[in-house]
Amino acid sequence: MKTIHLILVLLCAFVHTGTLAATYTFAGTTYGNPTPFTAPCATPTCANFTVAMKQAGSFTTAAPLAPNLGNAFITNLIQSYSFSDGITHFSSADPESHLLYATVSTDATGNIIGENIAVNRWQTADHGVNGRLNAMSINLASWSNAYCQNLSGPDVCSLMAEDASTSYVFAHANNGWTRSIASASVPTLGDWGLLALTCLMVTLGWPRVWQRTAASSAAL
């Protein structure tokens, strides 16, 4: 009986339950007053924001964000992201894109109520000082064809500036975030769990086999 109890404990330990990934989606409002670049474009590639454009996108974490966060650093929790400012697509699948930082505040149910998230994407092959890039600060502003003034690491521009070839626009939505959480998966057993289950079946079945063998021998 003690052996059976031990195997049952092991089975519980080896049960795998699916993690509940969460996706946070941002939908901004259309831009109000974009600042265009000054023609002709001196340093390509130039593009202008328009009042028909807006910021939008999402990021995914392995588990839902905790409730009541206050400007919490979550950069390392983000597994993937995809954002657009109407001109540039910023994606974690794109080696030219970088998530610089991400901090958020959440309400009592874990919904985002405040954010400071910045991404950028290099335009030029030169990823150094004076290299050209596009950038987006979610729910704050977007830039197209700015230039890098300082690096905080390889390929990571931590300070940029505008010139005559830059287009930029401010953006703000009161609360543009929504959240979706993946449905729970059915618990499954890992390899060790299956082994423990096999041992349990053998443990429960062996006494019955022995009893039948003994009964057969007695009948003879």
Domain ranges of the chain: 2-15+191-214, 19-181
- CA angle (115, 120, 123) in 5-degree steps: 165
Confidence (pLDDT) at 185: 54
Q: Where does 85-203 show beta strands of DSSP type E?
A: 89-91, 97-106, 112-122, 132-137, 141-153, 156-161, 167-170, 177-181, 188-189
pLDDT at site 182: 86
pLDDT at 216: 52
- How far apart are alpha carbons 84 and 2 in whole angstroms? 60
pLDDT for position 173: 85
Rounded to two decimals, the pTM is: 0.76
pLDDT digits (tens, 9 = 90+) for 131-170: 999 999 999 999 999 999 999 988 999 999 999 999 999 9
What is the pLDDT, as a whole number, of residue 165? 98
CB 83, CB 56: distance < 8 Å? yes
The token pair at 87 is 């001109």
Which segments of the chain have a pLDDT < 50? 6-15, 200, 202, 206, 209-210, 214
Separation between Cα atoms, residue 196 and residue 177, nearest integer Å: 45
Contacts of 96 (CB under 8 A, 6+ apart): 121, 122
Distance CA 161, CA 145 (A): 9
Asked if 155 and 98 touch (Cβ cutoff 8 Å), the reply is yes
Specify the DSSP class assigned to residue 67.
Answer: T
Q: Is the CB of residue 117 less than 8 Å from the CB of residue 94?
A: no
Grouping H, G, I as helix, E, B as strand and the rest as coil, residue 176 is coil
